[in-house]
Chains A and B, each alone.
Chain A
Amino acid sequence: MWENIRSSLRGIWSHKLRSFLTTLGVIIGIASIIAIVSIVEGTNRKLERSLVGSGNNVTTVALSQDSWPYDFSSGVPSGIPVVSEGLLQQVRQLDGVEGATAYRTRQSWNGAYYLDRPLGEGTITGISDSFLDTMQFSVARGRDFTAGEYARGGKVALVDESTVENLFDGADPLGLAIEIQQEPFVVVGVIRDDNAQAAEYDSLDDYYMYGYRSGGSHVYIPDQAWPIIYQFDEPQTVGVRAASTGQMASVGSRAAEILNTNVYHDSIRYTAVNAMEDAEELKTLTNSIQLMLVSIASLSLLVGGIGVMNIMLVSVTERTAEIGLKKALGAKNRTILAQFLTESAVLTSVGGILGVLLGIGLAKIISVVAGLEFGVSVPWILIAVGFSMVIGILFGAMPASRAARLDPIEALRRE
């Protein structure tokens, strides 16, 4: 076997141009499949990362009405109590939950001012002491709220970098007062989302996930200070961090179930914002597109296979004397068959490997040009090389069996 492979490689090398031209069909076919798959893979990764977040695995369980987030500016609906510490503990004890935190949040336009400078698009969020840890935010500058500020609702604020940019032109905001609903709050710290990657925030993001991960600038105040600027007894949203991305969906829906225990309202319920599901849905779409494109690319593999069959027939004819000699020296039919099958399989496998390299190169170029993420699918590479080998065996079968069945007398007579 190994001997056959070695002599096949030698044969391919001694007919470099011919081998290359023969396998061109296979090379192009495999290259396009790999390029398509890599691009789709890249798109999928990007989708997942954009929708699900880059690995903090936090799923949001929020009140929604008719599958739209409930808007608290229209008042606190009756029959919906605030989330009790007891319920939150139940959520924390679910399998696969690493942390949970209840908070109140408002999408707002110009929800905060510094002097006469408005914030623009952003959110105001009232947080408890478990928030930063659960969301995996960290304090970049300044300090976290003190236990006292959390407990008594101090008029202090944490802001993100975007707020620093928009309200303070990037200058140090620590110690300065901002105004929320005509109330002053002193900025004590700047926080950073440890998981967010700047590169993800581009147009595709806005497109798909506006509302899931709210864009704009974020200002955080102690939850206990929330009634000062908005209203008492406003039901919270709960952020739940799952142990793994795969557990987000189930953790979200179980948490929603628990949070709905005390909800008595016809149409407003706690619902997990299932970004993962949305991502999977979109991936189903891209995957079906991928399947279609791959089938089209497979046609060129068919053409490539026919080219290989053709050249193998030529090779059998050229080497009739060699086949006759080997048979006269005692080679069995299956030895000859194996030799030619190996040769065509090696030929197409080499083509497949070249195709994979070319395809990866193409995908890299396209991902750079189109601004997509670059992802190489290892299983697909193995499938592609395996498939090209199968093509060699399939299309080499006819020429090889013709070689194996050659009459040695006839074969030796021809020189």
Chain B
Amino acid sequence: MLLELEHIFKTYSNDQLDVPALKDVSLQVERGDYLAIMGPSGSGKSTLMNLIGCLDRPTSGTYRLDGTDLLSLSDNALSEIRCHKIGFVFQSFQLLPGETALQNVMLPLSFAGVRRADRPEIARRALERVGLGDRLDFLPSQLSGGQKQRVAIARALVNDPEILLADEPTGALDQKSGAAVMDLFEQLNAEGVTLIVITHDANVGSRARKILHIVDGEILEHRESPQTAGEKGAEPA
């Protein structure tokens, strides 16, 4: 099992009020999975994404990634995990505006300690993988929304992470570019990339092989996507 969350609780405390964001969430992701986490805003899906992405720690529960218990790790070690095992894709792309596509993609390589001389080549290959081999020296302002998101995906892939974690990846895109990004995800998944997509958009969610609905911090439903359910055979919800 690549990723295992067991009985995760997350409670935000402010002053005297305790706000539970996640209540007893358990979930498992296997290598090569394509999982969509769906839910309305305020449902706790962003909290869940932050936990999976090692940006936050749960109040209680266990979280294992690739067999490692992450909750006992230091902040520095979690940075290492984010650097090498997790690739983030954000709704608003989060590209550095002053840097070219290539430089943006090279950024995680510097955190991973890759030799400077090797970085451009690795980044170029990542950009080619998302179909932007001809846009290396473009600034984000010279790229369309869909292209920007693909640069962000290349950046997420560049350190060969175990999991690609996408938060509303099509939220800022028009229909057509959104569909192109989802096509790219499907292609990457077919190449073996493990994908977790957080979305409130049913169209996006339906592209995944598994869908997890979360409402009010609890997992409501955990089922195979109708598209793929037939192929893999029924699994208990």
Q: Which A residues are closer than 8 A to B by beta carbons?
A: 3, 10, 14, 321-322, 325-333, 335, 408-409, 412, 415
B76–A332 CB distance below 8 A: yes
Chain A residues with CB below 8 A from B96, complex form: 322, 325
B88–A329 CB distance below 8 A: yes
Chain A CB within 8 A of B4 CB = no
Rounded to whole angstroms, the CA-CA distance of A326 and B80 in the bound complex is 12
Chain A CB within 8 A of B94 CB = yes
Chain B residues with CB below 8 A from A14, complex form: 98
User: What is the distance, in angstroms, from B10's C-beta to the closest C-beta of chain A?
Assistant: 12
Rounded to whole angstroms, the CA-CA distance of A409 and B78 in the bound complex is 14
Rounded to whole angstroms, the CA-CA distance of A408 and B55 in the bound complex is 7
Q: Which of B76, B79, B94, B111 contacts A321 (CB 8 A)?
A: B94
A sample of 19 cross-chain residue pairs with beta-carbon separation below 8 angstroms, ordered by A number, consists of A3-B110, A10-B98, A14-B98, A322-B96, A325-B90, A328-B53, A329-B88, A329-B107, A329-B111, A329-B155, A330-B80, A330-B111, A331-B79, A331-B111, A332-B79, A333-B75, A333-B76, A408-B55, A409-B55
Given A322-B96, A409-B50, A330–B82 Cβ distance below 8 Å?
A: yes
B98–A328 CB distance below 8 A: no
Chain B residues with CB below 8 A from A325, complex form: 90, 94, 96
Rounded to whole angstroms, the CA-CA distance of A326 and B104 in the bound complex is 11
Rounded to whole angstroms, the CA-CA distance of A14 and B50 in the bound complex is 34
**Chain A residue nearest to B158 in the complex (CB):** A329
Residues of chain B from 85 to 104 with CB closer than 8 A to chain A in the complex: 88, 90, 92, 94, 96, 98
Chain A CB within 8 A of B112 CB = yes
Residues of chain B from 10 to 55 with CB closer than 8 A to chain A in the complex: 50, 53, 55
Rounded to whole angstroms, the CA-CA distance of A333 and B111 in the bound complex is 11
Mostly, the A contact residues are: helix
Rounded to whole angstroms, the CA-CA distance of A398 and B175 in the bound complex is 45
Chain A CB within 8 A of B108 CB = yes
Number of A-B contacts defined by CB within 8 Å = 53
Chain B residues with CB below 8 A from A321, complex form: 94
Rounded to whole angstroms, the CA-CA distance of A105 and B44 in the bound complex is 104
Rounded to whole angstroms, the CA-CA distance of A321 and B90 in the bound complex is 12
**Chain B residue nearest to A10 in the complex (CB):** B98
**Chain B residue nearest to A411 in the complex (CB):** B55
Rounded to whole angstroms, the CA-CA distance of A408 and B111 in the bound complex is 16
Q: Which of A10, A330, A409 contacts B108 (CB 8 A)?
A: A330
Chain A residues with CB below 8 A from B75, complex form: 332-333
Mostly, the B contact residues are: helix
Rounded to whole angstroms, the CA-CA distance of A409 and B88 in the bound complex is 12
Q: Which B residues are closer than 8 A to A by beta carbons?
A: 50, 53, 55-56, 75-76, 79-80, 82-84, 88, 90, 92, 94, 96, 98, 107-108, 110-112, 116, 155, 159
In the A-B complex, the 9 residue pairs with the closest CB atoms: A330-B83, A330-B111, A330-B82, A332-B79, A325-B94, A329-B108, A331-B111, A328-B88, A408-B55
Rounded to whole angstroms, the CA-CA distance of A362 and B50 in the bound complex is 57
A330–B84 CB distance below 8 A: yes
A330–B112 CB distance below 8 A: yes
Chain B residues with CB below 8 A from A10, complex form: 98
Chain A residues with CB below 8 A from B111, complex form: 326, 329-332, 335
Rounded to whole angstroms, the CA-CA distance of A328 and B111 in the bound complex is 11
Rounded to whole angstroms, the CA-CA distance of A181 and B23 in the bound complex is 120
Rounded to whole angstroms, the CA-CA distance of A330 and B111 in the bound complex is 6
Which of B53, B88, B155, B159 has the most chain A CB within a 10 Å cutoff?
B88
Rounded to whole angstroms, the CA-CA distance of A86 and B23 in the bound complex is 108
User: What is the distance, in angstroms, from A15's C-beta to the closest C-beta of chain B?
Assistant: 11
Rounded to whole angstroms, the CA-CA distance of A326 and B84 in the bound complex is 13
**Chain A residue nearest to B49 in the complex (CB):** A409
Rounded to whole angstroms, the CA-CA distance of A331 and B98 in the bound complex is 19
Rounded to whole angstroms, the CA-CA distance of A322 and B104 in the bound complex is 12
Chain A residues with CB below 8 A from B79, complex form: 327, 330-333
Q: Which of A326, A330, A331, A412 contacts B90 (CB 8 A)?
A: A412
Rounded to whole angstroms, the CA-CA distance of A329 and B85 in the bound complex is 10
**Chain A residue nearest to B87 in the complex (CB):** A329
Rounded to whole angstroms, the CA-CA distance of A329 and B108 in the bound complex is 6
Chain B residues with CB below 8 A from A331, complex form: 79, 83, 111
Rounded to whole angstroms, the CA-CA distance of A415 and B159 in the bound complex is 26
Rounded to whole angstroms, the CA-CA distance of A374 and B207 in the bound complex is 78
Chain B residues with CB below 8 A from A3, complex form: 110, 116
Rounded to whole angstroms, the CA-CA distance of A57 and B53 in the bound complex is 77
Q: Which of A327, A330, A332, A333 contacts B159 (CB 8 A)?
A: A330
Chain A residues with CB below 8 A from B155, complex form: 329
Rounded to whole angstroms, the CA-CA distance of A332 and B80 in the bound complex is 8
Rounded to whole angstroms, the CA-CA distance of A327 and B53 in the bound complex is 11
Rounded to whole angstroms, the CA-CA distance of A67 and B73 in the bound complex is 80
**Chain B residue nearest to A325 in the complex (CB):** B94
Chain B residues with CB below 8 A from A326, complex form: 107, 111
User: What is the distance, in angstroms, from B76's C-beta to the closest C-beta of chain A?
Assistant: 5
Rounded to whole angstroms, the CA-CA distance of A370 and B55 in the bound complex is 65
**Chain A residue nearest to B152 in the complex (CB):** A325
A329–B90 CB distance below 8 A: no
**Chain B residue nearest to A415 in the complex (CB):** B92
Which of A14, A327, A328 has the most chain B CB within a 10 Å cutoff?
A328
Rounded to whole angstroms, the CA-CA distance of A327 and B98 in the bound complex is 18
Rounded to whole angstroms, the CA-CA distance of A330 and B82 in the bound complex is 5
Chain B residues with CB below 8 A from A332, complex form: 75-76, 79-80, 111
User: What is the distance, in angstroms, from A303's C-beta to the closest C-beta of chain B?
Assistant: 31
Rounded to whole angstroms, the CA-CA distance of A408 and B92 in the bound complex is 15
Rounded to whole angstroms, the CA-CA distance of A333 and B80 in the bound complex is 11
Chain B residues with CB below 8 A from A412, complex form: 90, 94
**Chain A residue nearest to B107 in the complex (CB):** A329
User: What is the distance, in angstroms, from B133's C-beta to the closest C-beta of chain A?
Assistant: 22
Which of B79, B90, B98 has the most chain A CB within a 10 Å cutoff?
B79
Rounded to whole angstroms, the CA-CA distance of A335 and B75 in the bound complex is 13
Chain A residues with CB below 8 A from B98, complex form: 10, 14
